Structure 1
Amino acid sequence: MNKHLKELIELSQIDKAIDSYNPQLETADKKVVKVQKKIDAAQAELDALNKEIDENEDKIKAYEEQLTLLNEQLAANVKKAKEISTEKEMKALSLEEDIAKEKMTFANEEIERLQGINETKRELAKEAEEKLAALQETFNTVNEEVSAQKAEIESAKGELFTQREELSRNIEQKVLSFYEKIRIWAGNTAVVPVKKQACYGCYMKLNDKTYSEVIKADEIVNCPHCGRILYMESVTEEA
């Protein structure tokens, strides 16, 4: 087999091995992202509950202030009643008191209702906090596992990069550049085997002349259809 072809086959196999780790890294990262999304959702739920509780507390405070004003108004009306001299004024004052009392009843009912809602929401918020804490623990565990896994992968990739660098130094620059140009568009299928007289990059059948050249392996042969570098993975009886 041609020396350069042999070197390119080996280089291609190293490149495939390096890139084969990428899906593992992506899967590892997805584990962390998946838990992080759950944490974000739990945090958003907790924030929404706390916001609703705060809004209800503001409403309760407003109703309590309204009750204070209405109480002051009723107290003032008691004083006014002593100074009233006509029935018309008495009726007007009585109507004013009735309206004030209705407002007070409504305010008290609303305060009670909002306090009940907040009691429920505080329980839900407590559950959300516990859920968030549990998810954070899960995240820490998963993150540690993923970090260890990624460290192993990066270490393995580092060894392969070292092998690649050593091999690249020994390959003729012109041949290496030729390989890299094809790899830009073909990726890890820049160098592919021929099986059943077909290129295993584009799966097109080779003509007899090209097929014969691939079998001989005296020179680097490109697929006439796609341009990939071809080699015989094994010499079959048919060949």
Structure 2
Amino acid sequence: MNKHLNELIELSKIDQAIDSYNPQLEAADKKVAKVQKKIDAAQAELDELTSSISENEEKIKAFEEQLTLLNEQLASNVKKSKEISTEKEMKALSLEEDIAKEKMTFANEEIERLQAINETKKELLAEAESKVNLLRAELSDINDKVSVEKAEIEKSKGELFIKREELSRDIEQKVLSFYEKIRIWAGNTAVVPVKKQACYGCFMKLNDKTYSEVIKGEEIVNCPHCGRILYIERETAEA
């Protein structure tokens, strides 16, 4: 087989091996992203509960301030009642007291209702905080494992890059440039085998002349349909 063709076949296999690690790296990142997504959702729930509890506490505070003012108003009315001299003034004061008492009843009921809601929300908040902490611990554990996994992958890729660099230096520049041009659009299918007289890049059948040239392996042969570099695998050639 042509020396340059042999070199390109080997180079192509190294490139395929290097890129085969990319899905593994992506899968490792997805593990981290999956847990991070859960943390973000749990944190959003926690933040919503915290905000809701805070809003309710502000409302409770406002009702308590209103009760203080209403109590002061009722105390003031007691003093006023001693100075009232007409029935009209008495009725007006009585109506004012009734309204104040209704407001106080409503304020007390709202305070009780909001406090009950907050008690429930605080229980949910404790659960949400626990969930976030557990997920963060899980993320830390996964990050540690993924870091080791990725380091091993990068080490293996590094070794292949060194091997590729050494091989590239031995390949004639013109041949290497030809390969790289095809690789721009064909990716790791720049060099493909021929099986059953078909190019295994575009899967189109080769004519007899091209197929014969590929079998001989004396020159670098391109697929007439897609332009990929073709070769016959040793087992196929022997058969």
Q: Normalization by structure 2: what TM-score?
A: 0.98
What is the one-letter code of the residue matched to 2:13?
Q
Aligned to 2:12: 12
How many Å apart are 1:237 and its aligned residue? 7.5
Aligned to 2:157: 157
- The CA distance in 1 between the partners of 2:41 and 2:238, in whole Å, is 62
* SS of match in other structure, 1:125: helix
1:103-144 per-position Cα deviation (integer Å, ceiling 9, x unaligned): 000000000000000011111100111111111111111110
1:68-109 per-position Cα deviation (integer Å, ceiling 9, x unaligned): 010111111111111111111111110000000000000000
* Range with bigger deviation, 221-230 or 78-87: 78-87
How many Å apart are 1:236 and its aligned residue? 3.8
Aligned to 2:73: 73
How many Å apart are 1:235 and its aligned residue? 5.4
Q: How many residues align?
A: 239
Aligned to 1:32: 32
How many Å apart are 1:146 and its aligned residue? 0.4
What is the one-letter code of the residue matched to 1:173?
Q
- The CA distance in 2 between the partners of 1:168 and 1:217, in whole Å, is 21
Matches within 5 A, 1:120-199: 120-199=120-199
* SS of match in other structure, 2:227: coil
* Conserved? CA contact 1:14–1:164, under 8 Å: yes
Q: Provide structure 1 residue ranges, at least 5 long, that are not aligned to the other structure.
A: none
Aligned to 1:100: 100
Q: Provide structure 2 residue ranges, at least 5 long, that are not aligned to the other structure.
A: none
- The CA distance in 2 between the partners of 1:58 and 1:2, in whole Å, is 83
- The CA distance in 2 between the partners of 1:17 and 1:236, in whole Å, is 22
Backbone CA RMSD of aligned residues: 1.1
Q: Normalization by structure 1: what TM-score?
A: 0.98
1:137-186 per-position Cα deviation (integer Å, ceiling 9, x unaligned): 11111110000000000000000000000000000111001000000000
* SS of match in other structure, 1:20: helix
Identical aligned residues as a percent: 81
- The CA distance in 2 between the partners of 1:219 and 1:50, in whole Å, is 73
